[in-house]
């Protein structure tokens, strides 16, 4: 059940980025404002999902390029699990395709990482009050706006038929995506079990389900299939200093 949130301040924030220095800098910047409090950080998709379940933040700032589960799919999962959570996508640059996918993922804002500090805080405050800043960016691009409207019409029609486009694009459950994320990072069954706080047998059960749903024969094919469809990205394995443990306030 979704927790009822207070409309007062400070608003709680989850930062999702695989670069520790960037996370630390963003935390300091955000916490200089009395309007927000960073309650957790995550370096990967499955960490973000876990921390969101624990802390139920008002906002999640998500880097679009994460190792394993992509930032956009993390956004989709968090919006599905926590509909009232506001999603802000962070990117090195903006293009129509990324902006379009951010809209589909349910993001409220799409910001570039070179944004000025005051502009970032102002954007977060607007998002926290329920504004969809991303709509302004979309409407400034007529061709993209038309594409979004067409997409929403298609989604509405498919939902009426009982099958959403997102379900077709992402056939795996949240936990199965988390397991596949860990596989893409090169983790063993034991390491996956420790990272997700489940048993090794449960990991094996999820992988069996993943192989069946994706109609592939092994883990490598499953990861390649997920990468091809854009559900995850292959990144380097966790290194010392980045870790799989998440720092929380």
Question: Once rounded to an integer, what is the mean pLDDT over residues 2-31?
Answer: 82
Does 74 reside within a domain? yes
List b or e across 190-229, with b for residues whose CB sees 16 or more CB atoms inside 10 angstroms.
Answer: ebbbebbebeeebbeebbeebbeebebeeeeebbebbeee
What percentage of the chain exceeds 70 in pLDDT? 76
Do 126 and 198 share a domain, yes or no?
no
Quick check: 182 pLDDT over 70?
A: yes
CATH number, position 211: 1.10.10.10
Quick check: 191 pLDDT over 50?
A: yes
Does 199 reside within a domain? yes
- Report the length, in residues, of the chain: 249
pLDDT tier, 206 (very low <50, low <70, confident <90, very high otherwise) = very high
Structurally, the chain folds into a number of domains equal to: 2
Do 189 and 121 share a domain, yes or no?
no
Question: For the chain, what is the mean pLDDT?
Answer: 80
Quick check: 171 pLDDT over 70?
A: yes
Do 111 and 191 share a domain, yes or no?
no
Do 135 and 175 share a domain, yes or no?
no
Does 2 reside within a domain? no
Question: Once rounded to an integer, what is the mean pLDDT over residues 59-65?
Answer: 95
pLDDT tier, 148 (very low <50, low <70, confident <90, very high otherwise) = low
Does 148 reside within a domain? no
- Residue 53 is part of which domain span? 11-142
| pLDDT given for residue 38 in this prediction | 97
pLDDT tier, 91 (very low <50, low <70, confident <90, very high otherwise) = very high
Does 235 reside within a domain? no
Say if residues 90 and 123 touch (Cβ distance below 8 Å). no
Quick check: 41 pLDDT over 50?
A: yes
| pLDDT given for residue 26 in this prediction | 95
Do 68 and 110 share a domain, yes or no?
yes
């Amino acid at each position: 059940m979704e927790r009822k949130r207070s409309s007062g301040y400070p608003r709680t924030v989850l930062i999702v980025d695989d670069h520790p220095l960037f996370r630390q800098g963003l935390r300091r910047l955000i916490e200089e404002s009395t309007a927000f409090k960073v309650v957790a950080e995550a370096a990967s998709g499955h960490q973000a999902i876990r921390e969101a379940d624990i802390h139920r933040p008002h906002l999640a700032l998500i880097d679009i390029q994460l190792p394993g589960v992509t930032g956009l799919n993390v956004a989709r999962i968090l919006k599905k699990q926590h509909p009232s959570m506001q999603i802000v996508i962070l990117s090195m640059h903006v293009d129509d395709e990324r902006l379009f996918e951010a809209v589909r993922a349910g993001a409220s804002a799409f910001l570039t990482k070179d944004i000025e500090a005051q502009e970032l805080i102002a954007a977060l405050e607007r998002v926290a009050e329920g504004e969809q800043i991303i709509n302004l960016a979309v409407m400034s691009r007529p061709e993209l706006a038309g594409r979004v409207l067409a997409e929403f019409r298609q989604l509405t029609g498919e939902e009426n038929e009982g099958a959403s486009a997102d379900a077709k694009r992402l056939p795996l459950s949240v936990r199965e995506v988390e397991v596949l994320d860990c596989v893409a990072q090169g983790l063993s069954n034991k390491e996956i079990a420790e990272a997700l706080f489940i048993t090794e047998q449960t990991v094996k059960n999820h992988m069996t389900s993943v192989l069946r749903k994706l109609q592939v024969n092994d883990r490598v094919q499953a990861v390649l299939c997920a990468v091809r469809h854009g559900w995850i990205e292959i990144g380097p394995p966790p290194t010392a200093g980045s870790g799989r443990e998440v720092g929380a306030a």
